[in-house]
Structure 1
């Protein structure tokens, strides 16, 4: 369900936003070179490799550039209207 946004930083933008899709890639790096040694799927993660649990998307205000979780923009709009 769509919800109105209001930028919590500039407090004026209600219509221009960038939706940023986040796709986590689990990798193991060589500590000396930084090169990727191995890539993991959710099925073959090593015991000490915690899977990504963050949001699948972020929102950027296209007026001031603030990047935050979508809920922050939604809550600001609800607070302003309430």
Structure 2
């Protein structure tokens, strides 16, 4: 996490962020009540229950609240480097 970020929405925040670690929970739910009937581990998924393929980390801008993939914040910081004073 030693890579600079720049918010792609407000384009000014380079310092205040929330790092969101995504940890999927695999469950089987009752379709009528929404009650969780069963919990699964990733290696124990039933057929037709696809494992999560999304990113493990997302970033929220502490200035405007945008939540995006970490790569988006990194890419913008790389294309628009900070000019030292």
Q: Secondary structure at the match of 1:43?
A: helix
TM superposition score normalised by structure 2: 0.91
Q: Which residue of 2 aligns with 1:75?
A: 75
Runs of 4+ in 1 over 4 A off after TM superposition: none
CA offsets, 1:10-31, max 9 Å, x none? Answer: 0000000000111100000001
- Structure 2's unaligned 5+ residue stretches are none
- Structure 1's unaligned 5+ residue stretches are none
TM superposition score normalised by structure 1: 0.94
Q: Which residue of 1 aligns with 2:43?
A: 43
What root-mean-square deviation, in Å, do the aligned CA atoms of Structure 1 and Structure 2 show? Answer: 1.3
